[in-house]
Amino acid sequence: MKKKGWVIAGIILIILVLAFVIYFKFSPSPSFKITPDYPINLNLVSGAEARTSIKITNNEKEPHNFKIGGLNEIASLSETEFSLEPKESKEIKIIFNNPQNISNVYFANLIVTNTNFRKEIPVLLTFRESASLFSIIQKPIPKYFEVYPGGKLGVDIGVFGLGGKDYSKEVKASYELLSPEESIFYSEENLIIGNEYHFSKVFDIDSELSYGKYVLVTSMEYNGIKSISSYLFEIKPKQNEFFLDKSNLLILVFFGFVILIVVLFIYFIKSRDELLLALRKQQSRELAKNIELITAVQKRVPAKKEKLEKAKKKVVAKIKKRQEKQIKELSRLKKKGIKKDKIKTQLEKWKKQGYAFPEIKEEIPEKNINKQIAKWKRKGFDISALS
Residue-wise pLDDT for 221-279, tens only, equals 998 889 999 999 999 998 765 555 555 556 666 677 677 777 766 666 655 578 888 88
Any idea which of 46-55, 161-170, 186-195 has the lowest mean pLDDT? 161-170
- Is the pLDDT confidence value at 179 over 90? yes
- Is the pLDDT confidence value at 378 over 80? no
Query: Which residues face 76 on adjacent strands?
Result: 95
Domain with CATH 2.60.40.10 in the chain: 31-123
Long-range contacts of 82-91 (CB under 8 A, 24+ apart): 84/32, 84/56, 84/57, 84/58, 85/58, 86/58, 86/60, 86/61, 86/62, 87/57, 87/58, 87/59, 88/57, 88/58, 89/55, 89/56, 89/57, 89/58, 90/55, 90/56, 90/66, 91/53, 91/54, 91/55
Question: For 51-78, what is the mean pLDDT?
Answer: 89
- Is the pLDDT confidence value at 2 over 50? no
Could you tell me if 376 and 383 are in contact, meaning their C-beta atoms sit under 8 angstroms apart? yes
- Is the pLDDT confidence value at 355 over 60? yes
State the pLDDT at residue 182: 92
Continuous H helices in the chain: 3-26, 239-242, 246-300, 305-335, 340-354, 358-363, 366-378
Per CATH, the homologous superfamily of domain 131-241 is: C2 domain (2.60.40.150)
State the pLDDT at residue 11: 66
Question: 31-123, what's its fold?
Answer: Immunoglobulin-like (2.60.40)
pTM greater than 0.85: no
DSSP state of 208: T
* 209 or 384, higher pLDDT: 209
Residue-wise pLDDT for 81-139, tens only, equals 999 999 999 999 999 887 777 888 999 999 999 888 889 999 999 988 888 889 999 99
Domain with CATH 2.60.40.150 in the chain: 131-241
- Is the pLDDT confidence value at 196 over 80? yes
Residue-wise pLDDT for 132-152, tens only, equals 889 999 999 999 989 999 999
State the pLDDT at residue 365: 73
Distance CA 285, CA 83 (A): 77
Any idea which of 19-23, 148-152, 194-198, 209-213 has the lowest mean pLDDT? 19-23
